[in-house]
């Protein structure tokens, strides 16, 4: 599904930026009011981030939503995200 692909890409992008900024999962969970298992599940893509959580992260890191989520190509928005329709 397209939504699953978007959620996984968002999780990967946030996780990559978190690591680059040397923010621990515990720190991020604390900022968002989430337990360690909850933030781990979101960062791994098991559970999608809620919109308000993505918005809070963008504000925390002084990024626009576009910068945080990243641009997605049409190919990424196709079923499975692999270009095979």
pLDDT tens for each residue of 32-59? 999 999 999 999 999 999 989 999 999 9
C-alpha dihedral (56, 24, 16, 77), degrees to nearest 10: -50
Q: Give the pLDDT of residue 79.
A: 45
Alpha helices in the chain (DSSP H): 2-20, 25-32, 36-44, 51-60, 65-69
Choose among 15, 4, 19, 20: nearest CA to 42: 15
pTM, entire model: 0.75
Residue 49 near residue 42, CB atoms below 8 Å = yes
Query: Which structural domains are found in the chain, ordered by start?
Result: 2-71 (1.10.260.40)
């Amino acid at each position: 599904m397209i939504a699953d692909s978007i959620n996984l890409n968002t999780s990967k992008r946030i996780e990559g930026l978190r690591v680059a900024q040397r923010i621990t999962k515990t720190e991020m969970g604390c900022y968002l009011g989430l337990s360690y298992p909850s933030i781990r599940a979101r960062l791994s893509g098991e559970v999608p981030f809620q919109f308000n959580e993505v918005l809070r992260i963008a504000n925390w890191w002084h990024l626009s939503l576009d910068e945080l989520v990243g641009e997605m190509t049409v190919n990424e928005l196709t079923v499975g995200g692999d270009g095979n329709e």
